Structure 1
Amino acid sequence: MFFIMCCLQLVKQCHAMLEAGKVYCQSSKSFINGLRELGQNCSRDSLMEVSEPHILIDTTQKSVKTKLHTFVKEDVRHFKDVRKEFERRSECLEGAQAKNAQAPRGKTHEVEEASNALLNARRMFRSEALDYVLEVRERVQSTKLTITTIPIVSSQDALVVTHGLSFCSVQYTQFVLNSAREKRDMEQRHAAIKKKDVSYDDSIMDFNADAANGIAMEGYLYKRASNAFKTWSRRWFSIQKNQLVYQKKFKEQPTVVVEDLRLCTVKPSAENERRFCFEVVSPSKSCLLQADSERQQQAWISAVQNSIASAFQERREDTHSPVSPSGRGSGTEQEDSSCKALEEVQAIPGNRQCCDCGEADPEWASINLGITLCIVCSGIHRSLGVHFSKVRSLTLDSWEPELIKLMCELGNTVINRIYEARIDEITIKKPQSSSPRGDKESWIKSKYVEKKFIHKLPETGRNTLLRRSSARRNRATTADRSGPKPPLKPKPNHRATLPRLTDAEDEEEDLSALHPGALLYRAAALQNFPVMADALAHGANVNWVNTAEESSTPLIQAVSNALAACEFLLQNGANVNQADSNGRGPLHHGTILGHTGLVCLFLKRGADYNAKDKNQKDPITIAVDNANADIVTLLRIAKMNKEMREMDEAFGHTGDDTYQDIFRDFSHMASNNPEKLKRRSADPRF
């Protein structure tokens, strides 16, 4: 019985030994693998194989536990002290940078004091940074020496125990010598660098549009907030992917300041008391930034300018393709359209300077006002809303021929005669190109929203109805309505925008007492753009209805003349589907007159091609009756396109824009070669 009990006890002990052995072997294997991995990270140091487990335990006790414990308890504590000093110097530098940024340009003494404090803080910070780097490298080197000696000593002890040999490992000796040499070299380089002047400003990089990481420029800048407090914050800015972005913290998602650098400009800013400021202006907003020095300011301005140029160059290279994405025409058509718009629009008197501040060579426009604007004023106009001003780029956006003609009919000189008619009577001073943005914004709102500077219309004698003479009514029904109309002549000793109308068959008609809506109606019939603009400035309803003439509207009156007059009214909010008392809208009238360009324009602006007049005729029926093949083609294409789009949407498809290309071709032909559209079909049903 006793023997059996001893056997059972032995079995239990054996089982316990086996389990402990498995754990030991696994732990030993993991530890040795860890040593190998560490050795692989030290490329110049080789780790020898450890074969004796009991020797490994002894070596671990001596080399790892004792030495690493000393490293963690003593060396790391010293390292933390050095790090705290480094962080303290970093905070001092940030404080000196903030005081230097706040120093007002007009106070020389404060500027000099802040500059000297910044130089001293930068010198102390960089000296402490060098000490910090040296400390890090020395501690890492010491730790590496401790860890890599473990297998070497282990192997050496194994040889002593096994073979009774005692000799110094050549590998170990070489490693110790190399480590000592590296430490001496580090200390010598450290001493040499600390003798140099480390107070210089080298905190920015050079602009590099082809940088491998896509960052063309980066560095710290102060940014003024757009809130009411106008606080300044230091942020890490960078130029990447044709955008200007900043980050508050490392690896934080960048905040985009400028979405597309082609849409912005950059210039030094002197409106703030702070030094080294510059402004990045886009149509949607303006961002005021500050560098730490004049050198940094110039470097950033140059970098943004180079980025803008690079963005334009990339766009030109992208558009120089033989076929456009839609498969029709050249890829340079939009660029050619923009170049044509810029040349023709800037050639109009007064358009070489911004309409509101006078800055030279403006590259933006308000298409419903017919004026050119600089980028700052264009951003302010955009903020007013499209019911006041519709902003478009003269260099980046595509321009339809009718829009270019519209811009050429008005211009800064004409519009300023209306909106700045009383400028000499008012003490408000017009801003200049160098004026602060706030002054420009106040002026533009007073000019276009409050309309403080226009001449007031007389309060008495305003006629809200407008009747034509019998001669004019007869002429309207018998003559070609598209023929030339007599010009509007100004009333003597009165401003040119409220004229008299003279006609050989009519008595002189005085328009100065007309209601603004009636004035717009008459000016639209005669295609007089300055008078139309004047009427709108005085509050004319662009959809005013003349009940004395079949409830006709200014847009219907403009149909008999040209594309530009209709475009002007549409850009100012005219309803393209408003019909007269006969149920005929502008599209009906354009179809009746056989004006292909106008039909194309109205269709692009959303005219209803299914609307029927009192005779139950829609525009397609009228075009077929008149045997106008081009207009029938346009109307049928518009109808087919709508049906195809509805079908595509039902099946989840996006459709294509082929019909837009066709409409574009008709628009260009109507503006540039209208004689090609005067065609009739022999078969009315074609």
Structure 2
Amino acid sequence: MIDAGKAYNTANKQFVNGIRELAQQSTKDEVIESSLTKFAESLTEMINYHTVGHHHHDRDLRKFKESKKHFDKVSEEKEAALARNAQAPRNKQHEVEEATNILTATRKCFRHIVLDYVLQINVLQSKRRSEILKSMLTFMYAHLTFFHQGYDLFSELQPLMKQLGGQLDQLVVDAAKDKRDMEQKHSTIQQKDFSNDDTKLEYNVDAEKGIAMEGYLFKRASNAFKTWNRRWFSIQNNQLVYQKKFKDNPTVVVEDLRLCTVKHCEDVERRFCFEVVSPTKSCMMQADSEKLRQAWIKAVQNSIATAFRERGDEEEKLDRRASTSTGSLDSGGEPKEKPLKGESALQKVLTIPGNSCCCDCGQPDPRWASINLGITLCIQCSGIHRSLGVHFSKVRSLTLDTWEPELLKLMCGLGNQVVNGIFEARREELVARKPQPGDPRQDIEAYIKAKYVERRFVRRPSDEELRTKVVSLSKQEKRLSSSNEHLPPRPPPPTPKLRPASNASGKSVRSADSGIQNSADGSREMLADTPSTNSPADTGWEPVFYEPKDCSAGLQLYWAAGARSLPDMAEALAHGAPVNWVNAEDQKRTPLIMAVQGGSLVTCEFLLQNAANVNQQDAQGRAPLHHATILGHTGQVCLFLKRGANQNAADMEEKTPLSMAVEAANADIVTLLRLAKMNEEMREAEGYSPAGDETYQDIFQDFTQMASNDPELLNRYEQYNTPRPGP
């Protein structure tokens, strides 16, 4: 009875939970939701009343059962001892004694267990009459309470039940009317002829939830099997999304339709196919009919146009706001120049030889670029480049993205003609066909991977050619370093304490025309003499190059960075030069440090775009930021800080870039370093306001503009102090 009651209560609880779930699913119908909720609460109380009556004490019964278990067990043990005693042979006295002892011990244990068992039987028998009557009486009183409380509870529900009974009659009448109306509509629709009719589509950009169009399409998977699956697609909020099931979260196919193009696809076996191409992927879809395909293509095209109009309106508003603000540093009250964007960047980049067509397929009028390669791309090739990964190609829009001046100069310093001269040098020799506009995507993708990932068409130079190239670049770097045209006025840095170079006989060698120590191993050495104060541009050392024993692409990259030759740097990287190559013969300097010494902002930008480590230190513990501070290259300091340079790093003399800038009294660099540090502290502080970050960005933008467009404005050291030698 007790077990059955528990099962009954469990079933009742499941029933009530079902009623609660039904009420939650009927939130739009207030009558059903409130009624079911009220009934579920009442039934829950009834279940609680019923549970109270099923508690009984069976402590004595449990003791009796435990005693019986012990009795049964010891009985089996006694039977086993008797059998063993009977089987003991008379001629084996030790077995007889052992069996007798076991039987004696087992009999003693059996007598004790029997006494306990009999005691429990007698106790149970003595309480039998009283316990039975007591339990039964308690059970009956529990039923009395249950039915009494249930009567009171349902008496309170009776008015609600009568009210719902009246409403139920009206609901039955309404349901019958709705059924009759739906049957009539069904009959009318069945009589129509749909043989030549297609689904009517409406395009409305102001539709609810921003949905411009929606419907079922077949989508080709991007896996190796190219399977087709039917999905529910929609164009909403300038995005193309689809759902596998109705309740699934939408999967975004295209995040921004402004970056896309749509076209018919007739080169597949299926009919009514079209393709949406974005910079990151290509999505092939199939409509159910030609009319539906045209409707989808038109919807995508209209959404692209709408997105551009909305973006243009936003930019126009922002431009009007920006026109009222003025520059914050040396602007003289004039509005500050913004980074180039849109058509301005496009026009500048497309004037470079070869840039008017896509670098890889020749598609005219490209609108995309790979900033680390310095080339222009069409939208399809840009999507393939994105799939290669940023360690091979970093794609940016020429019309939609903002272009920093140093990045724009990088693009103008290379171009499709230069880069193809490197990456396609052996293409004709290998009889490799270059893709044309309209070729299948997989063919273009295979060519691009062979060109940039496998570098199959790059011509590897001979040792003699590489040696000649390195010697030429070193001489070019030496000519630049001996001239102070590209360096701002600055005080000389502290002279490093280095050993003098020696020739093969072990004696120090000094150049007759330059007064610089040379080393026979092709490395550069610094003089221990104090630099002359008459030459503020002197860095404390000049590069001297002797023909090295072993040349490498890394050494070419190193000297090309100092010679400010972007094509030679790109060629070295194409030949496999590590961008963070270390010159062990020259104070463990890297190409990025050499670019700092060369004084070119663009070469630094090129190396950083190709994953150069902005914090890699030389043998003196100086990172590129230290060298840019010592040389007074304000634009490079600004660039390194924007790229995450650690301004708290100290060199072997425990000097940080800030302490060096303060010692040299370079106000611009001190300002930049302190601003960057203050901005970093503000970011870490609680309650940080984005306004502080905007001010910081504005000031850095001013410095970037001056460093790229008017570098003479940053040659202001003499305004602050007279040049003085370092300690």
Amino acid at match of 1:212: E
Give 1:57's aligned residue: none
Distance 1:18 1:535, change over 3 A: closer
Amino acid at match of 1:34: L
Local SS of the residue matching 1:219 = strand
The within-5 A match list for 1:146-545 is 194=192, 197-319=193-315, 320-321=317-318, 322-323=320-321, 337-458=341-462, 479-480=483-484, 482=486, 514-545=551-582
Q: Any conservation in 2 of the 1:467–1:549 contact (CA below 8 Å)?
A: no
Distance verdict in 2 for CA 1:619–1:205, change over 3 Å: same
Aligned with 2:235: secondary structure? Answer: strand
How far 1:603 sits from its partner (Å)? Answer: 1.0
Aligned equivalents of 1:141, 1:543: Cα separation in 2? 75
Q: Kindly tell me: are residues 381 and 332 of structure 1, through their superposed partners in 2, closer, same or farther at Cα, counting changes over 3 Å?
A: farther
Q: Do the aligned partners of residues 507 and 633 (structure 1) sit closer, same or farther apart at CA in structure 2, a change above 3 Å counting?
A: closer
Q: CA RMSD, aligned part only?
A: 4.1
Question: Aligned-pair distance for 1:342?
Answer: 1.8
Deviations 1:299-335 (Å, cap 9, x if unpaired)? 211211111121122222223234479x988999889
Amino acid at match of 1:670: A
> 1:499-534 CA distances to partner (integer Å, 9 max, x unpaired)?
xxxxxxx99999999421111122222211111111
- Secondary structure of the residue aligned to 2:693 is coil
By how many angstroms is 1:589 displaced? Answer: 2.4
Q: 1:558 aligns with which of 578, 595, 598?
A: 595
Structure 1 residues 375-403: Cα deviation after superposition (integer angstroms, max 9, x where no partner): 22222212222111111222222211100
- Unaligned ranges ≥5, structure 2: 1-150, 328-333, 489-542, 723-727
Question: What secondary structure sits across from 2:685 in the alignment?
Answer: helix
Aligned partners of 1:34 and 1:345: how far apart in 2?
76
Q: TM-score, normalised by structure 2?
A: 0.62
Once the two structures are TM-superposed, the CA of residue 271 in structure 1 deviates from its matched residue by 2.9
Q: 1:624 maps to which residue?
A: 662
Tell me the distance in 1 between the aligned counterparts of 2:160 and 2:309.
Answer: 63
Distance in 2 (CA, whole Å) between partners of 1:22 and 1:579 is 84
Question: For residue 707 of structure 2, what is the amino acid of its counterpart?
Answer: A
Determine if the alignment matches structure 1 residue 588 to structure 2 residue 722.
no
For residue 638 of structure 2, what is the aligned residue in structure 1?
Answer: 600
Aligned to 1:90: none
CA distance in 2 between partners of 1:344 and 1:472 (Å): 28
Determine the structure 1 residue equivalent to 2:508.
none
1:32 aligns with 2:166: yes
8 Å Cα contact 2:706/2:714 also seen in 1: yes
The answer for the alignment partner of 1:148 in structure 2 is: none
Cα distance change on mapping 1:450 and 1:474 into 2, 3 Å = closer
Q: What CA distance in whole angstroms lies between the structure 1 residues aligned with 2:370 and 2:199?
A: 42
Deviation at 1:464, TM superposition (A): 12
Contact 1:465 1:547 in 2 (8 A): no
Q: 1: CA distance between counterparts of 2:614 and 2:673?
A: 15
CA shift, 1:681, in A, is 6.5
Please tell me whether the aligned partners of residues 477 and 562 of structure 2 are also in contact (alpha carbons under 8 angstroms). Answer: no
Q: 1:441 to 1:228 in 2, by over 3 A?
A: same
Residue-by-residue CA offset, 1:112-157 (whole Å, 9 max, x unaligned): xxxxxxxxxxxxxxxxxxxxxxxx9774579xxxxxxxxxxxxxxx
Q: Which whole-Å CA distance do the structure 2 matches of 1:454 and 1:599 have between them?
A: 35
* One-letter amino acid of the structure 2 residue matched with residue 313 of structure 1: R
CA distance in structure 2 between the partners assigned to 1:527 and 1:479 by the alignment: 14
User: CA offset at residue 466 of structure 1?
Assistant: 6.9
* Matched residue count: 508
Whether the 8 Å contact between 1:364 and 1:378 is mirrored in structure 2 is yes
Inter-CA distance 542–276: structure 2 relative to 1 (3 Å threshold): same
Call closer, same or farther: CA 1:668–1:363 in 2, change over 3 Å. Answer: same
Q: Could you tell me which residue of structure 2 aligns to residue 678 of structure 1?
A: 715
Which secondary structure state, in structure 1, belongs to the residue aligned with residue 348 of structure 2?
helix
Is the contact between residue 624 and residue 684 of structure 1 (CA under 8 Å) also seen in structure 2? no
Q: Distance in 1 between matches of 2:310 and 2:402?
A: 17
Change in Cα spacing, 1:201 to 1:663, as seen in structure 2 (3 Å) is: farther
Q: Which residue of 2 aligns with 1:640?
A: 678
Q: Which residue of 2 aligns with 1:662?
A: 699
Name whichever of 406-415 and 624-633 sits farther off: 624-633
Partner AA of 1:377 in structure 2: C
Q: CA deviation at 1:619?
A: 2.1
- Confirm or deny: 8 A CA contact 2:474 2:559 kept in the other structure: no
The amino acid across from 1:288 in the alignment is M
Cα 1:219–1:448 change in 2 (3 A) is: same
Deviation at 1:205, TM superposition (A): 1.4
Q: Secondary structure at the match of 1:547?
A: coil
Cα distance in structure 2, aligned partners of 1:349 and 1:315:
31
Partner of 1:166: none
The CA deviation at 1:564 is: 1.0
The equivalent of 2:529 in structure 1 is none
User: What SS does the corresponding residue of 2:229 show, helix, strand or coil?
Assistant: strand
Instruction: Provide the secondary structure at the position in 2 that maps to 1:549.
Output: coil
CA contact under 8 A between 2:666 and 2:720: conserved in structure 1?
A: no
**Residue 608 to residue 425, structure 1, CA distance change in 2 (3 Å):** same
Instruction: Using the aligned pairs only, state the percent identity.
Output: 56
* Shift in alpha-carbon separation, 1:346–1:36, aligned structure 2, 3 A: same
Contact 1:588 1:618 in 2 (8 A): yes
Flag the 1:201–1:404 CA change in 2: closer, same or farther, 3 A: farther
Contact conserved, 2:339 with 2:403, CA < 8 A, in 1?
no
Q: For residue 403 of structure 2, give the secondary structure of its aligned residue in structure 1.
A: coil
Q: 1:365 to 1:35 in 2, by over 3 A?
A: same
Please state how far the C-alpha of 1:475 moved relative to its aligned partner: 6.8
Deviations 1:527-577 (A, max 9, x none): 111111111100112222333433332222222232111101111122222
Q: Secondary structure at the match of 2:268?
A: coil
CA distance in 2, matches of 1:474, 1:286: 50
Change (3 A) 1:291 1:644: same
Unaligned ranges ≥5, structure 1? 1-16, 43-67, 69-135, 143-182, 485-505
Shift of the alpha carbon at 1:355? Answer: 1.1
CA distance in 2: counterparts of 1:626 and 1:26, whole angstroms: 90
Q: Is residue 340–residue 403 contact of structure 2 (8 Å, CA) maintained in 1?
A: no
**1:640–1:30 Cα change, 3 Å:** closer
Once the two structures are TM-superposed, the CA of residue 453 in structure 1 deviates from its matched residue by: 0.6
**Aligned AA (2:166):** I
